[in-house]
Structure 1
Amino acid sequence: MKIAIILFNLGGPDSPEAVQPFLKNLFSDPAIISLPSLLRLPLARFISSRRTPKAKKIYDQIGGSSPILGQTEAQARALEEALGGEHEWRGYVCMRYWHPMTEAVVRSVKRFAPDRIVLLPLYPQFSTTTTDSSVKAWKAVAAAAKLTVPTQTVCCYPDGPGFIAASVDLVKQGLAEAGSGPIRVLFSAHGLPEKVIKRGDPYQAQVERTAQAIARQIGGLDWSVCYQSRVGPLKWIGPATDTEIRRAGADGRSIVLYPLAFVSEHSETLVELDIDYRHLAEKSGVPVYVRVPAVGTHPSFIGGLADLVRSILADPQVAVCHGATVMPCGSQHLGCPLASKAIAGGL
């Protein structure tokens, strides 16, 4: 059997010239700016034009481009290897805002002519702004291309065993590097505007679920969840990562910071966390600042992804599954495909 696995990620500019079109694609997404297209598209052009000079300076600090594509390709190859020879597996990297984008990947998958397709977001925690946006784009393009292959979606895995095992291992390494003395673990995730969460997006609840699972397995941690990468005038969920860094400094705590919502390195880890927040930690009197790497191709993480793929393929009648030990969303999380279906009486 031929099986295509579509690994979704946001993508990133592959050259300085790609920064503005990448940003334009990002802000053109109705999942990011929920306005009619007549207003959203001109606004996206304006925002991307305004933000490009600052964004280019950020990418200049890591060589002028994002490393996310190469890392995601490595994850796809590692996943193929972990799945073994039972079927003909082929992993496809599908980026939302820069190449390879959905249209090109659908064409490649159609040429492969798979018997089954598994959509596998590299976002452990579900959000309408990430997973839902990527899946909707895939379904629309696949339908237009008449790619009529049985398709199943892994929607989230906030406390999936493989993801948590990899995270625990990496955080423990960070704790060992930090040495003796009081330490606070900061679980930092990309933030969202508060209004997105109030509309029923489960992302914040799932981020907290991930942090709790990691902390529970390690035990005895002084820890908190915080959110980074705030932009624009809207009120965002908190506490902010920079606020928590200053608080740790005031409390005389060293910091072990783990980006628990990112599975690969990019500007928000390599610049915001490694450079900007490290400098802030030094200014704030933090004795030791250790940034834990993202899970990347950690064997436990890749093994967990393989288990998710095998699990959903084992039941062809299940269209959407998740990797949590119990249902990770409540009835208030209308953005979750499983919660909204359950409320409608479909589960």
Structure 2
Amino acid sequence: MRTAIVLFNLGGPDRPEAIKPFRVNLFLDKAIIRAPWFIRVWLSRLIARSSSKAAYENYQLMGGKSPLLELTQAQASALEANLGPDYRCFIAMRYWHPFARETIRELKAWAPERVLLLPLYPQFSTTTTGSSLTNWREAVAEAGLTVQVTTLCCWFDDKAYVASIAALVREAIEDAMAQKKGLRLRVLFSAHGLPESIIKAGDPYQAQVEATSAAVMTLLANTGVEAQVCYQSRATPQKWLEPSTIEAIEQAGRDGVGVVVVPIAFVSDHIETLVELDIENRHLAEKAGVPVYIRSRAPNDDPDFIRALAGLVRRAKTPGLCRGGSPCGKHKDCPWEIRGAP
């Protein structure tokens, strides 16, 4: 069956001039700033303006733009090669090009027999997968797209995905151990943070991040390392999930343990791995006296990770299903009602 796979991700500025509008789009999203429209407009512009200099400098460290689109294109190409000629991948970014409405025009021209929506967020959150799928539904309604649709809303506990992450973490652990024999080591599973209020409202993201991290550590039980979940990238004054990655690194320094930082909620490198973790937090670790600081590789187009995605796609056969084969809404932890929605 001729199948279009739509890969969703955050997006990122493709040139310095796009940094401000990208950030405005991000903070204008009602799933991110949960306030009336006129307040979101004011806040999005205020936040983008107040931190524009720092944002510009950080993107300059990556050549003036985000690498996320190119990395997602590489993932799409690798996934197509794994699945064969009956499948074609399309990319829809949430806050910068290609937007969903642009992707739908391209998808319609290819005329698929069915569409599989595959958010590149392993753990579901209303702020990521939920926002992308809502945006997609709105764009589909505008475009009048009518085609059989299957949605994978989360895959945080998929065995092949977990195994692919465990292999990357094991590689980083071995690197850290090689740098300093007999090192006491702590794995920090660093996920993008959220305000606590969003979790208290029923968002399953924190529970799914913790479940993924625990599943990875089960496969690494023979390494003898410690593990901790932490959260990065706080962006608003609200109380966010704790501990922060900064706090976890500082505590590691006080404890005299080396750290392996795992970007557990990210499947592609972008500003939060390449700048926040690799530069800012590395400097923090040195200042805090952390003996060894290693960041495990993001999946990107790692062959094991791509095979895991291909497995999810092959198992997602029925319209309206999520998590690769179980009816959406039937899981006790299923976070989002898909039935009847494109």
Under a length normalisation based on structure 2, what TM-score does the superposition of the two structures give? 0.93
215-224 vs 190-199, which moves further: 215-224
- Conserved? CA contact 1:159–1:323, under 8 Å: no
Q: Residue 302 of structure 1: which of 306, 309, 312 is its match?
A: 306
Inter-partner Cα distance in structure 2 for 1:71 and 1:307: 20
Q: Residue 148 of structure 1: which of 146, 149, 158 is its match?
A: 146
Inter-partner Cα distance in structure 2 for 1:101 and 1:153: 18
Identity of paired residues, percent?
A: 50
* 1:224 counterpart residue number: 228
**Structure 2 alignment gaps of length 5 or more:** none
1:42-121 equivalences in 2 (<5 Å): 42-85=42-85, 88-121=86-119
Inter-partner Cα distance in structure 1 for 2:207 and 2:18: 34
Q: CA deviation at 1:327?
A: 9.8
Q: CA deviation at 1:311?
A: 1.0
* 1:321 counterpart residue number: 322
Q: CA deviation at 1:110?
A: 1.0
- The yes-or-no answer on 1:176 pairing with 2:174 is yes
Report the secondary structure of 2:316's partner residue: helix
Q: CA deviation at 1:322?
A: 1.2
What is the letter of the counterpart of residue 2 of structure 1?
Answer: R
Q: CA deviation at 1:262?
A: 0.3
* 1:345 counterpart residue number: none
- The yes-or-no answer on 1:23 pairing with 2:32 is no
Aligned residues: 333
Deviations 1:161-185 (A, max 9, x none): 2211111111111011101311111
- The yes-or-no answer on 1:267 pairing with 2:271 is yes
- Conserved? CA contact 1:160–1:324, under 8 Å: no
Structure 1 runs of 4+ with >2 Å offset = 323-331
109-118 vs 38-47, which moves further: 38-47
Q: CA deviation at 1:48?
A: 1.7
- The yes-or-no answer on 1:279 pairing with 2:283 is yes
- Conserved? CA contact 1:158–1:323, under 8 Å: no
Inter-partner Cα distance in structure 2 for 1:329 and 1:211: 24
* 1:160 counterpart residue number: 158
Report the secondary structure of 2:43's partner residue: helix
* 1:38 counterpart residue number: 38
What is the letter of the counterpart of residue 337 of structure 1?
Answer: W
- Conserved? CA contact 2:164–2:308, under 8 Å: no
- Conserved? CA contact 1:156–1:324, under 8 Å: no
Q: CA deviation at 1:35?
A: 1.9
Deviations 1:40-65 (A, max 9, x none): 22332222222222210111111111
Q: CA RMSD in A?
A: 2.1
Q: CA deviation at 1:38?
A: 2.6
* 1:337 counterpart residue number: 336
Deviations 1:133-163 (A, max 9, x none): 0011111111111001111110111121221
- Conserved? CA contact 1:186–1:257, under 8 Å: yes
Distance 1:324 1:192, change over 3 A: farther
Report the secondary structure of 1:290's partner residue: strand
Inter-partner Cα distance in structure 1 for 2:26 and 2:120: 17
What is the letter of the counterpart of residue 234 of structure 2?
Answer: R
Inter-partner Cα distance in structure 2 for 1:205 and 1:258: 17
What is the letter of the counterpart of residue 96 of structure 2?
Answer: W
Deviations 1:89-137 (A, max 9, x none): 1101110000111110011111111110000000000000000100111
- Conserved? CA contact 1:121–1:131, under 8 Å: yes
Q: CA deviation at 1:265?
A: 0.4
* 2:190 counterpart residue number: 188
* 2:134 counterpart residue number: 136
What is the letter of the counterpart of residue 131 of structure 1?
Answer: T
- Conserved? CA contact 1:158–1:324, under 8 Å: no
- Conserved? CA contact 1:184–1:253, under 8 Å: yes
- Conserved? CA contact 2:187–2:226, under 8 Å: yes
Inter-partner Cα distance in structure 2 for 1:92 and 1:54: 32
Q: CA deviation at 1:272?
A: 0.5
**Structure 1 alignment gaps of length 5 or more:** 342-347
* 1:207 counterpart residue number: 209
Q: CA deviation at 1:244?
A: 0.7
Q: CA deviation at 1:329?
A: 10
Inter-partner Cα distance in structure 2 for 1:286 and 1:67: 29
